[in-house]
Structure 1
Amino acid sequence: MKEKDIVNDILAGAKASIGSYTTAITECSNPQLRSTLQTLRNEAEQMQYQMYQMAEQKGYYKAAPEAPQPDVQTIKTDLQSSLQG
């Protein structure tokens, strides 16, 4: 198995774990367990980001180009308006 494939598998696994932690957190009523799950999710996010940076540096992953600033501002304004009204 090539390194690129291994890195992509790790990234996919991290993404799945983060989603599972998030779901568990939103359904958890025990404050101590909720806190533990949040810590685990945060650690998984940190590890995922480190793997992403390595993948991007090695050319295994190419991020999408940044959106034009006016588009970002329009979406931000629309979201803020929908939350307020």
Structure 2
Amino acid sequence: RTGVLIACYLVFATRMTADQAIIFVRAKRPNSIQTRGQLLCVREFTQFLIPLRNIFSCCDPKAHAVTLAQYLIRQRHLLHGYEARLLK
């Protein structure tokens, strides 16, 4: 279970793929991430992060800077109701 958490952290923090993180953890901690369920957990977490990285793209040091216009478009898609009217 600890290996799964470490692999998920590596995917989140370093943008490794699920397979890269699993291989890295297994190299450092033999007998980690053994079951199909554990493998699936890391892979599903990676898939969960994909749409979030489209919104928060500046987390990646190699990503292009987000312009004000792009930011406002994203804000319009995320906000609803009172917040949308307030920050229009």
User: What TM-score do you get using the length of structure 1 for normalisation?
Assistant: 0.33
Bigger share in helix: 1
Higher relative contact order (CA 8 A, sep 6+): 1
User: What TM-score do you get using the length of structure 2 for normalisation?
Assistant: 0.32
